[in-house]
Amino acid sequence: MCADRIHNAVLRAGRRESRLCNILDRIPVPWDRETGAPVEDFSYDRMVFEASEYFKDGLIAIVEVTGPGEWLDRMQEIEDDLWKHARIDSPFGKLISTNIEVN
C-alpha cells in the first residue's frame, strides 16, 4: 500500500516535470522556485549539460529500480531531442556538445 502511494506520487511528479520544465521540445531545464517557472535565459550548452545530469544522476537510478515504463520513456524522449538538436559538427556527424561528459 505505501509502496503504491510512493510510486504514484513519483509518477505524478515526473509528469509535472515533463509538462512544466520542457523548453526545447522535451529537453528540460531546472525549475526556479522563486519565480514559479522554468529557469530562463539558459544557454544551449548549459541546457544540454543540465539535461544530461538529470538523465545520468536522476533518471537512470529510477529506471534501475522501476524497470521499463514512464521513466524509461522520459529518458528516451530527452535523448531523442538532445540528438535532434545537436549542433556540433564532427567528422562522424552532429554531436550534442563539446563537453565529453554530455556526449
Tell me the whole-structure pTM to 2 decimals: 0.87
Residue 98 included in any domain: no
Residue 61 lies in a domain: yes
How many beta carbons lie within 10 A of that of residue 48, not counting itself? 25
Residue 59 within any structural domain of the chain: yes
CA nearest to 41, candidates 54, 51, 26, 29: 29
The number of distinct structural domains making up the chain is: 1
Q: 18 is in which domain, residue-wise?
A: 2-84
Instruction: Write out the DSSP string of 1-56.
Output: -HHHHHHHHHHHHHHHHHHHHEEETTEE--EETTTTEEPPS--HHHHHHHHHHIII
- pLDDT for 14 equals 87
Q: pLDDT tens, position by position, for the chain (103 residues)?
A: 566 777 788 889 889 999 999 989 999 999 999 999 999 888 999 999 999 999 999 999 989 988 899 999 999 999 999 999 999 999 999 999 999 888 6
Cell of 38: 522554468
